[in-house]
Amino acid sequence: FYGQTSITVEETEDAPIISKHIYGHFAEHLGRSIYDGIYVGEDSEIPNKDGVRTDIIEALKDIQIPNLRWPGGCFADTYHWKDGIGPKEERPSIVNAWWGGVTEDNSFGTHDFLNLCEELGAEPYLAANVGSGTVQEFSDWIQYVNHAEGSPMADLRKENGREQPWNVKYWGVGNEMWGCGGNMTPEYYANLYRQYATFMTSWENENNLYRIASGANQDDYHWTEVLMRDIPKHLIEGVALHSYSFVEWQDKGSATDFNEAQYFSTMKTALWMQELIDKHTDIMDKYDPENEIDLIVDEWGAWYDVEEGTNPGFLYQQNSMRDAMIAGVTLNIFNNESDRVKMGNLAQTVNVLQAVALTEGEKMLLTPTYHVLKMYTVHHDTKLLSVEFESPNYTYNGESLPAISMSASRNDAGNVNISLVNIDAEKENKVEIDVDALDVENMTAEILSSAELQDHNTFDNPDNIVVKEFKDFKLRRGTLEVTLPPFSVVVLKQE
């Protein structure tokens, strides 16, 4: 049994480019994200390059990771970057107060992170310490990584073995300043932001700084209102927003052992992203009708209970087809809102929350979420096509959500790409897409699907869920007919 939906796809003149940075990532000093997950040290038996796992480097290159946010999260506002430079054996240890109270030896620091970004071809996004740091410390970090020569910090960088600056463009001015960043009011933070931003110098490198204000938690519209009202435009390029998906914050439930009611609730919070972006954007439009300040969703993803027997402070969770649904619909929302949304950062890359990869010793697996990101690489830096349709409902226990989510783009070569998600747990859905105006021919397709929503990849069976070729579609006289199985992600590509 299925519903049938008609969808129109069109090219509009002033359509935005879907920034590849929408497909960005976030890795915090949290649990086994950096240590174990990314960095194992040069002496490890696990194959590595300068201490970073080569399997992770390859996996991230394969999804064309466009940027990586670091070192937090909450950790960022406790991080003093000078602890993480110079000879490793001389670096001080600290306690990671936010995440499990473990000792942090600072062996992964600024050079390690920025060299990794260079290796990956990803833009670094440094989230700097405002909560417990100083203006001087912040501006010194910028000088250290961006000033070519003839300054105290450039000299220090050279002493530490790096001649050329890295030219870091993206800077976060604190993180979650309404919470772990200092429990500030928006009025207080807006003033503090102005002070910090004033002393952020780009040191005349070609890569002018892109300053991101710590943003609202979900529907805290007042936060965005105050930042937009009180921060002068010449001091800011982006305003952030954080929103996680969960069953219930107080009762998150297992990542793999969940029922349909829990699935439905998680999808409800994931789809809420649309309303959040609409409403934050309305406020931004009011203060910035010229659309000069971007919305940066620099933390998003699913948050469940940790896996049994693991440290509750480490946020280690499995990743199932439910997570593939969250990734698929969220990225479609970002694509469709790419006029204002210019960056997104999935939390968090390896071994934490909605990770794209999990590790266990030398083993590594790629999650269903990873596969969605790989399928969606076709949208990186392409022109958004507008899509219009009434989605059929996915109904559970008398409540309904839109079952179908979609976005479409055209790349530089003129080829059209379409990503479709059917979140319905039971029903397949048939869509008829009118692509007549677009001159589309020769399409191929891929699908991510599985027998059960709870299915996931394990270290013993890492290829349980993989992307497969998809044939259940027809292109006839300007109409694409696609039958989407329950809880599936399909990407159609013009060859």
Catalytic residue (one of 28, 104, 123, 176): 176
Query: Within 13 Å of residue 337, how many CA atoms lie on the same side as its CB?
Result: 26
Q: Using the rule CB under 6 A, which residue among 51, 71, 73, 109 binds ligand AHR?
A: 73
Please choose, from the candidates 67, 59, 94, 68, the residue with its C-alpha nearest in 3D space to the C-alpha of residue 79. 94
Structure tokens at 247: 């069953």
Q: Using the rule CB under 6 A, which residue among 348, 359, 367, 409 binds ligand AHR?
A: 348
Query: Rule CB under 6 A: which of 266-305 touch ligand AHR?
Result: 299
Residue 452: count of CB within 10 angstroms of its CB: 11
Catalytic residue check, 299: yes
Residue among 180 and 228 whose Cβ is closer to ligand AHR? 180
Catalytic residue check, 176: yes
Minimum Å gap between C-beta 315 and ligand AHR is 6
Cα gap 237→226, rounded to integer Å: 16
Q: Please count the residues of this chain forming the interface with ligand AHR, following the rule CB under 6 A.
A: 10
Minimum Å gap between C-beta 131 and ligand AHR is 11
Residue among 73 and 109 whose Cβ is closer to ligand AHR? 73
Query: Rule CB under 6 A: which of 453-482 touch ligand AHR?
Result: none
Residue nearest to ligand AHR (CB): 73
Segment interacting with ligand AHR (CB under 6 A) among 46-54, 87-95, 346-354, 364-372 = 346-354
Residue among 356 and 420 whose Cβ is closer to ligand AHR? 356
Please choose, from the candidates 368, 257, 244, the residue with its C-alpha nearest in 3D space to the C-alpha of residue 315. 244
Q: Using the rule CB under 6 A, which residue among 72, 172, 182, 238 binds ligand AHR?
A: 72
Cα gap 193→175, rounded to integer Å: 11
**Integer-rounded Cα radius of gyration of the chain:** 22
Say if residues 359 and 319 touch (Cβ distance below 8 Å).
no
Minimum Å gap between C-beta 56 and ligand AHR is 18
Contact between 433 and ligand AHR per CB under 6 A: no
Catalytic residue (one of 104, 299, 337, 446): 299
Say if residues 455 and 466 touch (Cβ distance below 8 Å).
no
- Enter the DSSP assignment of 438: G
Cα gap 489→39, rounded to integer Å: 32
Q: What angle do CA 194, 199, 202 make, to 5 degrees?
A: 115
Cα gap 68→169, rounded to integer Å: 12
Contact between 74 and ligand AHR per CB under 6 A: yes
Q: Which residues contact 188 (CB under 8 A, 6 or more apart)?
A: none
Contact between 28 and ligand AHR per CB under 6 A: yes
411: left (phi over 0), alpha (psi -120 to 50) or beta: beta
Minimum Å gap between C-beta 306 and ligand AHR is 12
Cα gap 35→52, rounded to integer Å: 9
Minimum Å gap between C-beta 302 and ligand AHR is 11
Q: Using the rule CB under 6 A, which residue among 142, 347, 403, 431 binds ligand AHR?
A: 347
Instruction: Report the amino acid identity of residue 117.
Output: C
Contact between 351 and ligand AHR per CB under 6 A: no
Cα gap 130→80, rounded to integer Å: 10
Query: Rule CB under 6 A: which of 166-195 touch ligand AHR?
Result: 175-176
Say if residues 89 and 83 touch (Cβ distance below 8 Å).
no
Residue among 170 and 487 whose Cβ is closer to ligand AHR? 170
Minimum Å gap between C-beta 172 and ligand AHR is 10
Residue among 165 and 301 whose Cβ is closer to ligand AHR? 301
Minimum Å gap between C-beta 175 and ligand AHR is 5
Residue among 176 and 446 whose Cβ is closer to ligand AHR? 176
Say if residues 266 and 326 touch (Cβ distance below 8 Å).
yes
Annotated catalytic sites, by residue? 176, 299
Residues forming the site for ligand AHR (CB under 6 A): 28, 72-74, 175-176, 299, 347-348, 353
